[in-house]
Amino acid sequence: MSPKSLGRIALAVFRESVRERVLYNLVGFALLVIGASYLIGQMTAGQDVKIIKDLGLSAMAIFGLFIAIFIGIGLVSKEIERRSIYSLLAKPVRRSELVVGKFLGLALTVAINLAVMTVVWYGVLAYMSWSEIDLVKKGWEAPAADPRLLVAVYLLFVQLVLVIALALFFSTFAEPLWATVFTFGLYVAGHFSADLKHFDVIVGDSPVRYVTTGLYYLLPNMATFDVKNAVVHAQLVPYGYVLTATAYGAFYSLALVAAAVLIFSKKDFK
Amino acid sequence: MIAAPRWALGVIVVAGIAAAIALQVHRDTSYPEVASPVEELYFTSGDSIGRLALSFKPMLADIYWIRAVQYFGSTRLDAKGAAESGTESTSHYDLLYPLLDVTTTLDPHFNIAYRFGAIFLAEGYPSGPGRPNLALKLLDKGFAVNPTKWQYLYDKAFVAYWSLKDYQAAAHWFSEAAKVKGAPPWMPGLAAFMLGQGGDRRSSRFLWQQILDTSEQQYMRDNATFHLTQLDMADVADQLTALLQRYRAQTGQSVMDFSPLVRAGWLRAVPADPEGVPFLIDPQTGRATLHRPSRYAPLPDEQPGAAAGPR
């Protein structure tokens, strides 16, 4: 795989997402966080900073998820639908480069989105801190613009990369609607992994427990990447945990992209 | 169909929205009962809500917290309004504990939801539900999850002191709070003070002063300031009562208000609370006191049951 080709495809994906006005979500995010910071102070009994932290992280997760799923599904399927896949494949580009390049391009789009949202969010938090008296600030669990919040944003990015990989994988063999359902389904199921792990408590020695334990290890565990509550409450997220979660997300995404390349390489477009 | 000009479409848009707003106003004024939202909590299990929330539990906890604060505030306004007009209030704070329970289940580290929640729950009716038992239950839940938070035991002591008037229990919880690592050095002193002075106005003043001096939360400081002023008013009432007794003893006249004392030069003016609401003389007891609309009434020594003063 040529890094040059990958870079070109990735940039093309990013440019296309800008053309499709994906970055408009940033305006929505800015309005949401700035508006909420103004309104929420009136009705939360002094919990406005905590709530803006929660709101910022949740909004990033939702916006990021929509971008990852809806654009991720369209990465391959749109090319097939528009029949532009033929002209792409006629160029000196390998199929594997096309899939990986598109994956990297969307990951870049999500990363830039998250970065801009984070800057806006920190700006609002810094303003809230600046406009508050010292005595009130002493009561906060952590500073408003706490750098530790970045750990949650980073792990959210790793999670979204995994979601992109899932969307890309499903879109190589399923219709866009089904690919969306599968990706979103796995995202939801991924938050129930702990239940699968402890299913043996309910089923006892039944063979079902082997199935649920198998599913626990096989399905992507999305809860791994969720440290939002911990960072907002200034709880320590060990570096080891962050590294493990990153490696987990990276290997899982790698496997999914590899599977997507495999399927796409064998696909007959006639 | 003939295409409508653009300006006509614009007029239709503006007129349509204006009509909708006018109808909304008409509905609210003409059918308030139908339009008013019903107090209802559709999901009472924090665990179930947490499962449905996926990774958005903290955000949902915030929403439930805002609901709890708004519910407490609006119910308090209703209940106090009804109490002042002598009518029966339809609001009894029934949803307050479930809302706080869901909030703290969704975010077990939501410190303020435990602390403010306990204050809200312990407040005597109509300022609150007057449910100190639920306040203690909420604080127990908080301490079980956050065993390093001495503040929850401190708050338990406060609920025992103010709402239950159980000074032994208050002393016990102050001692327990003192045992938690990080508790301030004055905590054991509070336990001893409680055992020695429990229940008198001096100990109340001491406790509220501690809160005023050490609390970072504006709501807690405001609450402490209110209670300290209320204790000051109780002191003033005592002094006025003593003055009334002396006046009666010297003149042999029983008075129904303070104007004879003002005319006689015993007082410069009719005494009033900081907001100018005058003190009255209770015809039953002959004592000086404050009644509604003074926000400091009833004074601490006159409050039935729960001693947490209404505001």
**Which residues in chain A are closer than 8 Å to B69, comparing Cβ atoms?**
43-45
CB B244 within 8 A of CB B286: yes
Question: Is A55 close to B59, i.e. CB distance below 8 A?
Answer: yes
Question: To the nearest whole angstrom, how far is the Cα of B233 from the nearest Cα of chain A?
Answer: 27
A237 Cβ neighbours under 8 A, 6+ residues apart: A148, A151, A227, A230, A231
Q: Which of A47, A223, A232 sits opposite B65 (nearest CB)?
A: A47
In the prediction, which pLDDT does B33 show? Answer: 61
For the cut 70, the answer to whether the pLDDT of residue B116 exceeds it is yes
CATH 1.10.150.120 matches B46-198: no
CA distance B271 to B259: 10
Q: Which of A45, A54, A139 sits opposite B58 (nearest CB)?
A: A54
**Which residues in chain A are closer than 8 Å to B55, comparing Cβ atoms?**
61, 191, 222-223, 226, 228
B161-201 residue pLDDT tens: 888 888 888 889 988 998 899 888 777 777 777 766 666 77
Selection from B22-26, B139-143, B271-275, B288-292 with the highest mean pLDDT: B139-143
Q: Which of B58, B70, B217 sits opposite A139 (nearest CB)?
A: B217
Q: Which residues of A222-232 are buried (b: 16+ CB within 10 A; e: fewer)?
A: bebbbbbbbbb
The count of domains in chain A is: 1
CB B135 within 8 A of CB B117: yes
In the prediction, which pLDDT does B185 show? Answer: 78
CB A133 within 8 A of CB A45: no
Percent of chain B with pLDDT over 70: 88
**Which residues in chain B are closer than 8 Å to A61, comparing Cβ atoms?**
55-56
**Which residues in chain A are closer than 8 Å to B218, comparing Cβ atoms?**
46, 136
Give residue ranges of A with CB < 8 Å to any B CB: 40, 43-47, 50-51, 54-55, 57-58, 61-62, 135-136, 138-141, 188, 191-192, 222-223, 226, 228-229, 232-233, 235
Each as own residue / partner, the long-range contacts of residues B232-239 (CB below 8 Å, 24 or more positions apart, any chain) are B233/B273, B233/B290, B233/B296, B233/B299, B234/B201, B234/B299, B234/B300, B234/B301, B235/B201, B236/B271, B236/B279, B236/B288, B237/B279, B237/B287, B237/B288, B237/B289, B237/B290, B237/B299, B238/B288
For the cut 60, the answer to whether the pLDDT of residue B73 exceeds it is yes
Closest C-alpha among B272, B294, B288 to residue B226: B294
**Which residues in chain B are closer than 8 Å to A43, comparing Cβ atoms?**
66, 69-70
For the cut 50, the answer to whether the pLDDT of residue A101 exceeds it is yes
* pLDDT level of residue B309 (50, 70, 90 thresholds): very low
User: ipTM higher than 0.85?
Assistant: no
Question: Is A228 close to B58, i.e. CB distance below 8 A?
Answer: yes
A168-202 residue pLDDT tens: 999 999 888 999 999 999 999 888 877 777 777 77
Which residues span the domain enclosing A110?
3-266
- Which residues are paired to B281 by β-bridges? B288
* pLDDT level of residue B305 (50, 70, 90 thresholds): very low
In the prediction, which pLDDT does B307 show? Answer: 39
Q: Which of A54, A61, A226 sits opposite B62 (nearest CB)?
A: A54
Give kind and range of the element (H or E) at residue B281.
strand B280-281
Domains in chain B: boundaries: 46-198, 200-311
Question: Is A141 close to B111, i.e. CB distance below 8 A?
Answer: yes
CA distance A237 to A223: 14
CA A18 to chain centroid, in Å, comes to 18
Question: Is B62 close to A43, i.e. CB distance below 8 A?
Answer: no
Question: Is B55 close to A61, i.e. CB distance below 8 A?
Answer: yes
**Which residues in chain B are closer than 8 Å to A58, comparing Cβ atoms?**
56, 58-59
From residue A1, alpha-carbon distances to A92, A161, A169, B169, B247 in Å are 12, 20, 19, 73, 103
Question: Is B219 close to A45, i.e. CB distance below 8 A?
Answer: yes
